[in-house]
Amino acid sequence: MTTKDKDTLTEMTREESLALIAQVMKKTQKEVGKSTGVPFIIWGGVTTFVSIVVWFALMYTNNRIMNLLWLLIPVLGSLISVWTKRRHPVHCSTELSRLISRLWLTIGSCVMVFAFAPMLYAQITGTWPMHYNILFVISLLLSVGTTITGIMVKENMTVVSGGIGLVLVLVFPLFTYYFASLQVLYFGCIFFATMFVPGVFLNRIKASADV
Amino acid sequence: MFKQLDPLLHSQIRLAVMSTLVSVESADFTYLKEITHATAGNLSVQLNKLAEADYIVINKGYEGKRPKTTCKITDIGRKAFQEYVEALKSYL
């Protein structure tokens, strides 16, 4: 083998090395992006579905006890999350993914607190707090969470979805004023736009990486 | 003057492992196997070589009842990887 042949082989190997590094790093970034999208799809999808179920149940039974169906969200969401984690475990952790987990743990905790707060107020005052709209508060928290997540992962579609959610939340009181019977469906729409859609966009990054 | 390439990193599997670990805090064995297209045995050997050189740290634990091995890059490994990339670029 001549020196020139050896140099040519060495040169190609170096180029291949750089190409391998770039390819692997790109794939890994997308793997991390995919893991961010799945919880959005699960919780956005479950909440939208349960919203539709609750709306139908309230409309056709006119019984407030049907509001207990909202508990399907944590039950179904948790079951699907556990099942998904077993089928598609998360392989990489980054500081960013840990921060996003903590962000949503905080938001989830706030949602639970604000969802049960009216019951506490009712216990204290003896009447249900009529001007407290749980759906408005939860929608606001989720929209802010989605916007922050989008900024953290630098995914513009997620930021836009969060922004759309905030606009929808801003209109919520007006919508409730004119179409009170549809506010549960409106709530479902906010979750569809603010969580499910950005989740699909985040997840499609994985699909494009697999091609 | 061309810089010498680190022979420990100048291997497809080990370079793919280091490229992955430099991007994340940690990665598990399953993912590293998927991304390197290596067999479990071969990947184990390569990971041990990197660990012996203090380029990575291997943690063997459990996730529930299942064993789970995760790897993390060390500061020495990160520096070695950066020097390797600089050496590659000096040739091109």
Q: What is the mean pLDDT of residues A166-181?
A: 92
Question: Chain B contacts of A19, Cβ < 8 Å?
Answer: none
Inter-chain residue contact A14 with B5, CB threshold 8 Å = yes
Inter-chain residue contact A98 with B10, CB threshold 8 Å = no
Q: What is the ipTM of this complex?
A: 0.86
Gap between the Cα atoms of A153 and A193, Å rounded:
18
Question: Chain A contacts of B27, Cβ < 8 Å?
Answer: 28, 91-93
Query: Which residues of A lie inside 8 Å of B (Cβ-Cβ)?
Result: 10-11, 13-15, 17-18, 20-21, 24-25, 27-29, 31-32, 89, 91-95, 98
Can you give the pTM of this predicted structure?
A: 0.77
pLDDT of A8 reads 37
Gap between the Cα atoms of A48 and A186, Å rounded:
10
Inter-chain residue contact B15 with A10, CB threshold 8 Å = no
Confidence label for A206 from pLDDT (cuts 50, 70 and 90): low
SS (H, E, C) chain A: CCHHHHHHHHHHHHHHHHHHHHHHHHHHHHHHHHHHHHHHHHHHHHHHHHHHHHHHHHHHHCCHHHHHHHHHHHHHHHHHHHHHHHHCCCCEECHHHHHHHHHHHHHHHHHHHHHHHHHHHHHHHCCCCCCCCHHHHHHHHHHHHHHHHHHHHCCHHHHHHHHHHHHHHHHHHHHHHHCHHHHHHHHHHHHHHHHHHHHHHHHHHHHHHHC
Task: Please say if the pLDDT value at position A102 is more than 90.
Answer: yes
Residue with the bigger pLDDT between A203 and A211: it is A203
Least CB-CB distance to A28: which of B5, B12, B20?
A: B20
Residue B74 CB-density burial (10 A; 0-12 exposed, 13-18 middle, 19+ buried): middle
Gap between the Cα atoms of A45 and A73, Å rounded:
10
CA distances to A106, A210, B34, B38 from B30, rounded to whole Å, are 30, 17, 6, 10
Task: Please say if the pLDDT value at position A210 is more than 80.
Answer: no
Q: How many CB atoms lie within 10 A of CB B59?
A: 11
Grouping H, G, I as helix, E, B as strand and the rest as coil, residue B16 is: helix
Inter-chain residue contact B88 with A93, CB threshold 8 Å = no
Confidence label for A144 from pLDDT (cuts 50, 70 and 90): very high
